[in-house]
Structure 1
Amino acid sequence: MREQKKLNTIRKIKSKNSEAFFLVIRGLEVGLFAGLIAVLYRYMLSVAEDGLDKVLTFIHGSWWKIAIWFGILWLIGTFVCYIIKWEPASGGSGIPQVTGEVKGRMSPSWWKVLVAKIIGGTAAVFAGLSLGREGPSVQLGGMAAKGIAKITKADKTTELRMISCGAGAGMAAAFNAPLTGIMFVLEEIHHSFDKNILCMGIVATAVADFVSKLFFGQSTIFSYDTVNFPLKYYWILILLGIIIGLSGVGYTKIMLKLQDTFKAIKKVPNTVKLPLVFVFSGVVGLVCPQVLCGGHSMVEFLMNEKPGFGVMFGLLVAKFLFGAICFACGAPGGTLYPLCILGTYLGAAFGSIALQITGLPDGLWQEFAVIGMAGFFSATIKSPITGVVLVFELTGNMNNILPLVTVALISYAVSNLLGSEPIYEALLARISTPTSENQGSEISKREKIIKSFVIPTGSDLADKKIKDIDWGRHALIITVERGEDSITPNGDVVLKAGDEIVFLVSQRRLAKTSEHLEELFEDRYKPST
């Protein structure tokens, strides 16, 4: 008996070692190709922004040149409209689309998304729309990984894992932030800790970050000298967290409402509505060019010039209003970095007032700026850990981690108390789910997919027998991992907090089954009696 247990243990170790090696190899593939695609997109957007600057300089003060430019913008808007019609999944940020695919709600053509997103996103940025590269880089990374999975004929479980890790690799390459990439996948896309995703994802994000730094260097976006925040003034951070939390709730509601309003205008076709937004971008470029594109110029202006409160607040409002219109139209491009810029300006504006009232050291205003970014990220995307890690990697500075965490958690809590939904989940809910006919042969394969969930501490699933829980008709438990032990599932097995439950899920029912399982593993689940 002891010899048999020893043999089983040896086989299990060998199996885990071979699986880990397989995940590392897949991570290398994903990181390399997702990183290269994200680098290409990042380069094309930089060329587009430079080209826009030259155009604005060329047309300055000449009405006939401005008129020609507006005509070109109309044509670009029409072109982008047809690109979105050709591949609907290329519109918008791209993060909800990746999440939807991982959850089984859609399955677009990977190569069409790559082509449409790169061309459409570059055109939108050349036109000056307030859209960033980070969200699209997430989608591009995911689709690049999907392409590798298709070419190498990976099974569906591996493909979905690669898409997830490709999304993280895309974010890592866009921000030069590998830890942020993997945290975003776990916290925002999966809402759970999956060891397989973690293993493959760490390799993928590290490789993608390396590829990005080969092309763009290793410098951070923000660079500032840290000033220790006095403990007796932490009440200011509490106030800042509340204000940012309220602002994040308002931002989410307004952005979603504007998108719904834009779509509700049925009498005006998209071939007219979208070009109008592009022409409006031309008007904004003449009046306030600082708010065009993603917002990198706004960061440089803020950190180098340290403008007064009036200028900061004016740019904040202008960026928000223009960004909301660009977001509502559904053009290919991200909202993630523009969102971070709003948080940065909100924190800096608050800090300029707080410094005058309290007499705190003047050097703290930059600290307020980066803290504001983490807080606004947490309040809108509802991923506070990712927000904190993102600011750390963008600044390369972790000396004032406590103020950062304080504001991020308070703003997150305020957003939760007010019932604000995560913006990307809200966007995913607004995306129409393709029918099985539209998803083609992938559904007809009826392939099974492996998914795993960890029972959190305090969950109502803990101390319950497997047979007493409704797992759904299309989810089969294949093992329960408890520490180093694998427990063969049967109805009388009592589950414990920390157990990792591995399911075999029908691909045809992946979306509904995944949604049901996610609800089970949340704290709100109450088992029927």
Structure 2
Amino acid sequence: MLARPRTGMPLLMAVTVGVGIGAGIGGTCLGLLLHFIQHWAYGYSIHKLLSAQSFLQGVTASTPERRVLALLVCGCVAGIGWWALQRFARPLISVNDALKSDDPRTPVLSTVVNATLQIVTVALGSPLGREGAPREVGASFAGWLSHRIGLTPQESRVMVACGAGAGLAAVYNVPLSGTLFTLEVLLGTFATAAAIPALLTAVIASTVAWIGLGNDAQYSVPVFELSDSLMAWSMLIGPLFGFAAYGFSRLERAARSQVPRDWRLLPSCLLAFLLIGLAAIFYPQLLGNGKGPIQLGFNDGVSVQLAATLLVLKVLAILACLRAGAGGGLLTPGMSIGAMLAIVTGSLWNHAFPAVPLSAYAIVGAAAFLAASMRMPITAIVLAVELTRVDHDYLFPVVFAVAGSSAALRICIRRYDKVHVPSAVLHKE
């Protein structure tokens, strides 16, 4: 049987542009929905979707009763929503599973509902991440468009991966990171045939998202002075973050494997989110995907004691939600864990060596933990720069820490998982 000829370049370019625009619109809509529900649930900036007041500020200003009520609503939405999705909708297909298929499409309606549930629950206070939703929507749209146009299976797989990376780029305004996520994590190749559409779709999606979400950096950071003490800490501490990320990944997989598949989903979600809501009475920083604590950490707004407490509570909250059956990403949650762990270890380092601002440790630790937990070292380095727009010199401690954490992760996988680790380790959802 003759192989189908490749699609012409003009048509491929048209599909690439279409995927970028679609992912940008999808990311914008999901981002605006997130802000609307956050403002409504916690009663801040009601008449303005994009305001100077952050989610953490709004949550902190709300009453303890309102926090608990919002998390109870979150538990109901999560339990009923994902139970109904499992019971009545077509089975979900992850982006990674779709990319292994000859027909890399995902069910559009089920995917959109699942993405909406993720956004709604994160907006109400779920500790999971919001980045999975725009990735899934972008990939689903790319699969649908590729099928309608009639691309070959290989071309369709590239477009689906580009749609996922473009969705990530749109919602976080990180076009280079979105490109690298597509190539390093999803496709495992930097070939020109994949790199060009990956870059184009990510840039187009980010540009489209500027219209609704603006062109601001996700985090504001002070100007740091690079020091020998910070460099030494980054070189030595990297493996610790790799070991911690491996342990967290094992706990995450165990939690996901025990998700209830029947009516027990509702009481499980209600209990998990109720406990988080009760904890939020005393620690409002616990609510949401972790962006608030990260921003505090990047600006020296977190004490060592609070960082240690949030580190433990954040891990427990994430695992509880995953075990209960809630959906969401782990990008921002992973960064928050890394930032809090870095503040704790950095404060210990400051007792013996020349002091460094804790915020400087937080940026390095966030990148190191993210690189190992999601198995994307190159993407994590660029993501840390794009999200914060720190000075170029700050790449050096980030790279040293990421290299150490990634090396430690590979050692753990080879020793404890007893598998061969290829040069490009793909992220598994």
1:241 to 225, 238, 242: 238
1:52 aligns with 2:41: yes
1:402 aligns with 2:396: yes
Q: Once the 2 structures are TM-superposed, how far is the Cα of residue 523 of structure 1 from its aligned partner?
A: 9.7
* Residues 35 and 212 in structure 1, CA contact (< 8 A), matched pair in contact too: yes
Q: Which residue identity lines up with residue 270 of structure 1 in the other structure?
A: L
What residue is the counterpart of 2:53 in the other structure?
none
What residue is the counterpart of 1:490 in the other structure?
none
Whole-Å separation in 1 of the counterparts to 2:74 and 2:389: 39
1:48–1:321 distance in 2 versus 1, CA, 3 Å = same
1:131 aligns with 2:125: no
What residue is the counterpart of 1:386 in the other structure?
379
1:359–1:68 distance in 2 versus 1, CA, 3 Å = closer
Whole-Å separation in 1 of the counterparts to 2:39 and 2:415: 36
What residue is the counterpart of 1:449 in the other structure?
none
Q: Once the 2 structures are TM-superposed, how far is the Cα of residue 294 of structure 1 from its aligned partner?
A: 1.0
| Range with bigger deviation, 36-45 or 344-353 | 344-353
Q: Once the 2 structures are TM-superposed, how far is the Cα of residue 28 of structure 1 from its aligned partner?
A: 1.0
Q: Which residue identity lines up with residue 186 of structure 1 in the other structure?
A: L
| Range with bigger deviation, 68-77 or 126-135 | 68-77
Deviations 1:443-497 (A, max 9, x none): xxxxxxxxxxxxxxxxxxxxxxxxxxxxxxxxxxxxxxxxxxxxxxxxxxxxxxx
What residue is the counterpart of 1:302 in the other structure?
297
1:214–1:405 distance in 2 versus 1, CA, 3 Å = same
What residue is the counterpart of 1:206 in the other structure?
203
What residue is the counterpart of 2:354 in the other structure?
359
DSSP-derived class of the 1:227 partner: coil
Q: Once the 2 structures are TM-superposed, how far is the Cα of residue 109 of structure 1 from its aligned partner?
A: 4.4
Q: Once the 2 structures are TM-superposed, how far is the Cα of residue 32 of structure 1 from its aligned partner?
A: 0.3
Q: Which consecutive residues of structure 1, in runs of 5 or more, have no partner in the other structure?
A: 1-14, 427-518, 525-529
Whole-Å separation in 1 of the counterparts to 2:279 and 2:13: 47
1:415 to 409, 415, 429: 409
1:327 to 310, 322, 328: 322
DSSP-derived class of the 1:418 partner: helix
Whole-Å separation in 2 of the counterparts to 1:232 and 1:177: 30
Whole-Å separation in 2 of the counterparts to 1:31 and 1:169: 6
User: Relative contact order: is structure 1 or structure 2 higher (C-alpha 8 Å, sep ≥ 6)?
Assistant: 2
Who wins on radius of gyration, i.e. which is larger?
A: 1
Q: Once the 2 structures are TM-superposed, how far is the Cα of residue 54 of structure 1 from its aligned partner?
A: 2.6
* Residues 89 and 108 in structure 1, CA contact (< 8 A), matched pair in contact too: no
Whole-Å separation in 1 of the counterparts to 2:389 and 2:416: 27
Deviations 1:266-307 (A, max 9, x none): 897324323333433433333422111212222233334522
1:230 aligns with 2:233: no
Q: Once the 2 structures are TM-superposed, how far is the Cα of residue 108 of structure 1 from its aligned partner?
A: 5.9
TM-score by length of 1: 0.68
- Say which structure is richer in helix: 2
How many residues are treated as equivalent by the alignment? 404
Q: Which consecutive residues of structure 2, in runs of 5 or more, have no partner in the other structure?
A: 45-58
1:99 aligns with 2:92: no
After superposition, the CA RMSD in angstroms is 3.4
Q: Percent identity?
A: 21
Whole-Å separation in 1 of the counterparts to 2:383 and 2:398: 11
* Residues 241 and 407 in structure 1, CA contact (< 8 A), matched pair in contact too: yes
* Residues 141 and 169 in structure 1, CA contact (< 8 A), matched pair in contact too: yes
Whole-Å separation in 1 of the counterparts to 2:389 and 2:414: 31
- Say which structure is richer in strand: 1
* Residues 222 and 395 in structure 1, CA contact (< 8 A), matched pair in contact too: yes
Whole-Å separation in 1 of the counterparts to 2:195 and 2:270: 42
Whole-Å separation in 2 of the counterparts to 1:162 and 1:310: 46
Whole-Å separation in 2 of the counterparts to 1:420 and 1:126: 38
Structure 1 residue runs of 4+, over 6 Å off?
55-59, 65-71, 265-268, 420-423, 519-524
DSSP-derived class of the 2:288 partner: coil
What residue is the counterpart of 2:265 in the other structure?
270
TM-score by length of 2: 0.83
Deviations 1:215-241 (A, max 9, x none): 222221223244343347643222211
